[in-house]
Structure formats: C-alpha cells, structure tokens
Amino acid sequence: MARWAVRIEYDGRPFVGWQRQITGLSVQQVLEEAASRLAAGRIVTSITAGRTDAGVHATGQVAHLDFPAETRLTASSVRDALNFHMKPHPVAVLQAVPVDTEWNARFSANRRSYRYRIVNRRGRLALDEGRVWLVKRTLDADAMALAAGHLLGRHDFTSFRASACQAKSPLRTLDRLTVTRLGEDIVIEAEARSFLHHQVRNMVGTLKLVGERTWSPERVGEALRACDRRAAGPTAPPDGLYLTGVGYDPDPFNTESLPS
C-alpha cells in the first residue's frame, strides 16, 4: 500500500459535505473516484482531517489516500491526474506528497484553521452568493472581537456544540478567535487543535448577536459557562465557512517549494 497526502481546495456549494452520503454527491466521493482511476479501477479510500458539512468550503483541506502498492505515482502525476479526473467538479488538489503508512491525515493533525467571511451591507450578493454570510444589520466588529476574547483558552464548549456531535469530550482549547473588519467585509479566524461539530458556526452565530448589539460581549462568556446549547446563539450558515489549513509536525507538505 502506498499512502499519499493531498492538500485540497473546494467550493462546498454543490456537495452534501465531505463525507459520502446516499443523499447526494460528496467531496470524498469525487476524490476517491478520481483516485481509483489512477489505480486501474481498484478502490482507493481516503481519510480527511476535517469532515466539513454541506456548503462549507476549503482552501486547505488535507486528506490521505491509500493506493495499491504497485501503482506508479509521482507527486506531480498524482496532483495532475486527480485534478484531471475530478473535472468538472469544483475540487482541486493543490499538492500531493508521499507519506508513510504511520502518518494519518486525521490523527496526525495538531491544528485546524478556519475562516468565516461575513459581508455586512444592505445590497444583496452578486459575486459571493453562497460564499459568504450576508448580514444586513450593521455589525460592531470591535464588540465582536471583544466578545471573542471570552471564548479563548481551554473550556467545556457544550454551549457551542451540535447535538449530533460525536466527540467523546466537550473540552477544547481555542487558541485563536479574531474578528477583523475591512470595509464591508468582516473576517473571523479560528484556530484550535480540533473543534466540536458546528463549533465555529455556533461561535460565529453568537458573535453576530453581539455585533448587532442584541447581546453584550460579556453575555458570550456567560453562555459558555452555562454549558447548555440553548444558552448560546444560533448556528451561522455554512456559506461563509472555509477550512483554511491543517497543521502537522513535521509538515509533510513542506518538502516542496511553492508554487510546486
């Protein structure tokens, strides 16, 4: 067996999410079917660092693929052939590197980075429909940034966890949560070793309540301490969410200079 790590970009709009489902096309299915074409039709399975939901995008998703040992592969042939076979689906392999079979895209990962994009204006979206969250009420990004500070560190994030979340523990360490406004664009960056299901979208949906002055920044800390999903705000839509990067130590993708 030959294991390959791939760094992937995708537009989440046409997919039911990362994971295979009988209800529709998934990113996983597109990737695995393309990989199978490289392996003379034999089944190739993948494991991913982050199983993104329907409508969620990625600029730096990572997965590994297990090819039959006899498949002849090079870094550029894996990248280019996967890209060829994934057409016309909006999924692209940015980089492919061989890894040993101890390495695992999910379990070797020690960092996940997400970006959430809000466009704060009255006019509807023409360029970024499905790619950002359009919020028409004026948001106070400074208040949102202040509120975000209450969520940093190691906490029980039950209040921000989807009921369907399968993680054993609700404890997570949030290392970064910044809110930045540039004109009508508000960008929220979140970073942690791992996140609970819907955690980023639930944090964003709660910060939005602060931004529109429905909530005080302090109330976000109270919602966290309540350890009750009903204490926090609603789930922000998937449209604005991007998995931007996955961290490994050492980073298998560092072996090539960019652009490769």
Active-site residue list: 53
Please state the closest distance from residue 218 (CB atom) to a second copy, in A: 26
Contact 161, 229 (CB under 8 A): yes
Q: Check whether 248 is labelled as a binding-site residue.
A: no
User: Residue 140 interacts with a second copy (CB under 8 A)?
Assistant: no
User: Residue 95 interacts with a second copy (CB under 8 A)?
Assistant: yes
Please state the closest distance from residue 220 (CB atom) to a second copy, in A: 23
Nearest Cα neighbor of 3 from 84, 58, 60, 78 is 78
Q: How many residues bind a second copy (CB under 8 A)?
A: 34
Binding mask 162-191 for a second copy (x = CB under 8 A): ---------------------xx-------
Pairwise CA distance, residues 144 & 215, whole Å: 10
Please state the closest distance from residue 166 (CB atom) to a second copy, in A: 28
Q: With respect to a second copy, which residue has the nearer C-beta, 181 or 197?
A: 181
User: Residue 59 interacts with a second copy (CB under 8 A)?
Assistant: yes
Q: Which of 68, 74, 80, 214 binds a second copy (CB under 8 A)?
A: 80
Q: What residues are designated binding site for substrate?
A: 114
Q: Which residues bind a second copy (CB under 8 A)?
A: 8-11, 57, 59, 76, 79-80, 83, 87, 90-95, 120-127, 129, 131, 136, 138, 183-184, 258-260
